[in-house]
Amino acid sequence: MTALLDVDGVRAGYGDFQALFDVDLTVAAGGATAVIGANGAGKTTLLRALCGIVPITAGAIRFDGADLGSMPAHQRVAAGIAMVPEGRMLFPSLSVEENLLVGGHRPGPGPAWTVDDVLELFPLVRPLLDRPSSVLSGGEKQAVAIGRALMARPRVLLLDECSLGLAPIVVRQLYASVPQIQERGTALVVVEQDIGQALAVADRVSCLLEGRVVLEGRPDELGRDEITAAYFGTGGAE
Ligand code: ATP
């Protein structure tokens, strides 16, 4: 497997508080790696470390063979790493179209995405283009947030808790876009508390528990009981 993103022994935290302990993670070029874990397991911190928002205190993050080291966040976007943050974080006073265009302000090296491409991926967004993003439903906002991140032309898209607060049918619609994003050549890291949804789209899964990877592998090779035990920290998963 060719690793596009290779996280090796990463430690990170907030001041004196260590949130990640020697975390390893691999994302194949064009692949999808799921990171699952309960509240506070460190999933968001891991994504922030990949983006350069939270500095790492040990270990290495290699992207396409290059060590990201202390590369600042804006350079990582230019290198092809884009994040869809938890809570969507759209600009409320801008229209949907403007939110999308903001994403493409400094395009990275990944597959080209235009507003039309985003509308093809999420047809529900088309009639909303002129509306302020503040009036959208949660699912609509999430689609726009994913579209905005794609407009930055990432080689890897980091998706944080995409399903949070959304109805199951909306979540399924959003996740239906994942194979299409991969087909165009963008890999994904999918952070989820919804284990079933994460496993359905991922070719690798890592389970975090209290800042440590306690289970890693291919979803089709790991048993559901094994994954559930690792998620909740019960059973013998170490
Ligand atoms: P959730 O699903 O609740 O978002 P998570 O798995 O994403 O959880 P993180 O948000 O990465 O977990 O949090 C990991 C640990 O770091 C938790 O103990 C949390 O309280 C702590 N933490 C997160 N953000 C901060 C911060 N800004 N300052 C201090 N501690 C933080």
Pair of tokens at residue 208: 């975090």
Over range 144-151, report the average pLDDT: 95
What is the model's pLDDT at position 211? Answer: 97
Kindly indicate the confidence band of residue 9, based on its pLDDT and cuts at 50, 70 and 90: very high
Ligand 1 atom nearest the C-alpha of 13 is 16
Q: What are phi and psi of 21, to 5 degrees?
A: -120, 105
More confident residue, 167 or 155: 155
- Ligand 1 centroid – CA 49 distance (Å): 12
Contact call for residues 206 and 25 (beta carbons, < 8 A): yes
What is the mean predicted confidence (pLDDT) over 111-128? 93
**pLDDT at residue 232, rounded to an integer:** 87
Ligand 1 centre from 229 Cα, in Å?
A: 21
Identify the weakest region by mean pLDDT among 24-28, 86-90, 165-169: 86-90
Tell me the C-alpha to C-alpha distance, in Å, between residue 194 and each of 25, 36, 76: 19, 8, 28
Q: How far is the CA of 85 from the centre of ligand 1 (A)?
A: 13
**Sequence-separated (6 or more) residues with CB below 8 Å from residue 223:** none
Determine what percent of the chain is predicted with pLDDT higher than 70.
97
Cβ of residue 100 lying under 6 Å from some atom of ligand 1: no
Phi, psi torsion values for 43, nearest 5 degrees? -60, -50
Q: Of 10, 11, 16, 17, which is best to mutate to test ligand 1, by the most ligand atoms within 8 angstroms of its C-beta?
A: 17
Which residue CA neighbors atom 28 of ligand 1 most closely? Answer: 14
Separation CA 100–CA 7 (nearest Å): 30
Range of weakest confidence among 1-10, 36-45, 120-129, 211-220: 1-10
Task: Provide mean pLDDT across the span 45-65.
Answer: 94
CA of 44 to the centre of ligand 1 (A): 7
Residue whose CA is at the smallest distance from ligand 1 atom 27: 14
Q: How far does residue 6's CA lie from ligand 1's centre (Å)?
A: 22
Q: What does the buried/exposed string (b/e) look like for 183-192 if buried means 16 or more CB atoms within 10 Å of the residue's CB?
A: eeebbbbbbb
The residue whose C-alpha atom lies closest to atom 14 belonging to ligand 1 is 42
Structure confidence at residue 61 as a pLDDT band (50, 70, 90)? very high
